[in-house]
A and B are shown apart, each in its own frame.
Chain A
């Protein structure tokens, strides 16, 4: 069996496990729909100033927060899924490694599973948002959301391996909302320096660009992919260390 086939098979096993727990799949659909749906239903339709690529413009609160809430949904799902998928798979993956499976293949399969959960949440959230506000560039917007889910999924994996389950849940509960909705908020003209070191910096810019600006600049996309790769390497080392220990 080729390396790719093994990754595919491990991923398929993970997806079958998702499918066997319909409650989880249901939650991945219902929670994003609730999160974005209730917001667009009750949020005030006020127009406020914001900054996109250094230019001041205006948009409605629903458009701005809608653009921030979708990547937040991805980050919340990715973070929690990353935390639990890897923690629960560690023992099995250790045995699979002893049985001869390449740890890198296992890592690829586990992280793809986390990305799939995040992508489902982002797709549902974008669909619900689109009933009220259609992102200017829907494909780029979904890409931003999925990237956010992957980044936080990798961070969730790291959190689970480094600080454990309970502290990891606290981190993954707290970080996405504070990072994306508050620190990366485009209504802020002169952002605090903390915003520039948080993981949601580039993906939030990307999401705002795609939702309101209608363009996707290489400036936030490139660094977002690099950031994703860098955190991925860290998470891979941590997970590799755990399953081969």
Chain B
């Protein structure tokens, strides 16, 4: 690789073509255009939060108040859980299919000179954009029916839940690059994690903090009902997100070593 490519000029172009930032932007743009080109994807972005948030609220309407559940309104708690579930499973599946569908294309892009870091960065940033959009949509749906005492903190908690599962989805996609196997893993992980972390069962064990949605659930519940988020929960969620992203990056780099997608 030439020096000009290694240190792209400020214009974002090198003698060999566009610079790293331009290539990243172009890659993300292409991914987003590919997503937006399917109208059903856009419909899902709008419909999923509504169905999940309201569906959870309705499901909890007639639920008995089990001992140990600390909430005044089970419906509101159901909606909050629905919002977290919506962002987590949307991001998980998005991350999974980003990696699975990108392997062929990435192999060719690798031959064209894209580095593994750039390719992972493109996929990751696309997933993060998706995470932020679904987080905003879910929060908006939740805010229609539920008073959110600390909206920014709630947004942060939901976004962290989405990023954690976006990274897990990418990780699963890198390890299990077939749609059937990858989807099975994501489906079981998200459903079970959300079920146990939601606070509906009053589970008292340290094992629970190992579940990806444990801290985001606590963050969002506190942000919505209490108006303040415990530092430990926020730190736990951020740490989980960073570790998940790091592991996803390492595994992605490993499975694409010696030729992207191989």
Contacts and interface: CB of A to CB of B under 8 A. Distances in A.
Interface string B77-94: 000000000000110010
B226 interface: no
Given A44-B201, A44-B204, A172-B187, A185 B63 contact: yes
Interface string A150-185: 000000000000011111011011101110011101
Contact of A182 (B38, B56, B176, B196): B56
A77 interface: yes
B180 A76 contact: no
B55 to A, nearest CB: 6
A192 B201 contact: no
A125 B37 CA distance: 40
Contacts of A48: 64, 66
A31 B181 CA distance: 11
B70 to A, nearest CB: 14
A194 B180 contact: no
Contact of B40 (A43, A44, A163, A185): A163
A14 to B, nearest CB: 13
Contacts of A230: none
Contacts of A77: 184
A188 B188 contact: no
A9 B61 CA distance: 49
B173 to A, nearest CB: 12
A61 B190 CA distance: 21
Interface stretch (B20-28, B44-52, B231-239): B44-52
Contacts of B90: 170
B187 A192 contact: no
Contacts of A176: 191
Contacts of A165: 179
A183 B60 CA distance: 8
A174 B203 contact: no
A192 B191 contact: no
A183 B59 CA distance: 5
Contacts of B61: 192
Interface of A: 21, 23-24, 27-28, 31, 34-35, 38-39, 41-44, 46, 48-49, 61, 65, 72, 76-77, 80-81, 83-85, 88, 163-167, 169-170, 172-174, 176-178, 181-183, 185, 187-192, 194
Interface of B: 38, 40-41, 44, 48, 51-52, 55-56, 58-64, 66-68, 89-90, 93, 97, 176, 178-181, 183-188, 190-192, 194-196, 201-205, 207-208
The 10 closest A-B pairs by CB, nearest first: A182-B59, A84-B180, A31-B188, A188-B62, A173-B187, A177-B191, A42-B205, A169-B183, A80-B183, A187-B64
